[in-house]
Chain A
Amino acid sequence: KQEVTQIPAALSVPEGENLVLNCSFTDSAIYNLQWFRQDPGKGLTSLLLIQSSQREQTSGRLNASLDKSSGRSTLYIAASQPGDSATYLCAVTAHGTDKLIFGTGTRLQVFP
């Protein structure tokens, strides 16, 4: 059974720091991995999608990497800003299924 774990559960950093959020999954047979952002009381906003054949994706200050063989992904946020404060969720689509399996998220707070 595919399980997704995110570390740390919460993170508080000063503005301007570079930071790394971690995601691990137990079964490497995946179609893709997706990082989402969720603001309090809101739905999920897709940040980056990495297909199983890719190693990384970049969008602005965000960079996500995927190491399928070791079951790991990282989300790197450069020069963090208070507006980055949110919960970050990673999710995988496992082979043989169409559903996303989510981690429990990392709650990020960036203070001025």
Chain B
Amino acid sequence: GAGVSQSPRYKVAKRGQDVALRCDPISGHVSLFWYQQALGQGPEFLTYFQNEAQLDKSGLPSDRFFAERPEGSVSTLKIQRTQQEDSAVYLCASSKGDRATYGYTFGSGTRLTVV
């Protein structure tokens, strides 16, 4: 696709509910990243994939957070038993792979509100 596509754009979840956020990266981009952005803050790294391999998940805040990219393209970020502190914008980014040269392209994000 022309850009990084994320869905849904907005999600309201009741506390304790499970949610799944989808990211469709730019076609051919091998690297995919998830970031969490709290209100008024810069994005914080969550996890990184190269193709289908999850190379870094050091930013996932708890074991309630799980990400996958089974075929090396679309990725899903799943949050189990959502808590109010999970309310944030979740951003997905992709890159051709040579980070020094190409940088990153971000999607518009999913705004998650846990009530």
Contact = CB atoms under 8 A, between A and B. Distances in A.
Interface of A: 4, 31-32, 34, 36, 41-46, 49, 51-52, 89, 91, 93, 97-105
11 contacts: A4-B42, A32-B103, A44-B43, A44-B93, A46-B103, A46-B105, A93-B99, A98-B33, A98-B55, A98-B56, A99-B48
A105 B42 contact: yes
Given A32-B103, A46-B105, A102 B43 contact: yes
Nearest to B111: A41
B76 to A, nearest CB: 18
A93 B100 contact: yes
Classify chain B: how many residues form its interface, as a range.
20 to 34
B45 A46 contact: no
A19 B9 CA distance: 33
Majority secondary structure, A binding face: strand
A75 to B, nearest CB: 15
Interface in B8-22: none
A92 to B, nearest CB: 11
B109 A31 contact: no
A52 B107 CA distance: 25
B42 A103 contact: yes
A31 B102 CA distance: 11
Top 10 closest pairs, chain A to chain B, by CB: A102-B42, A43-B108, A44-B106, A49-B103, A99-B45, A31-B100, A43-B109, A43-B106, A104-B42, A34-B103
B101 A34 contact: no
Contacts of B42: 4, 89, 91, 102-105
Nearest to A89: B42
A104 B39 CA distance: 10
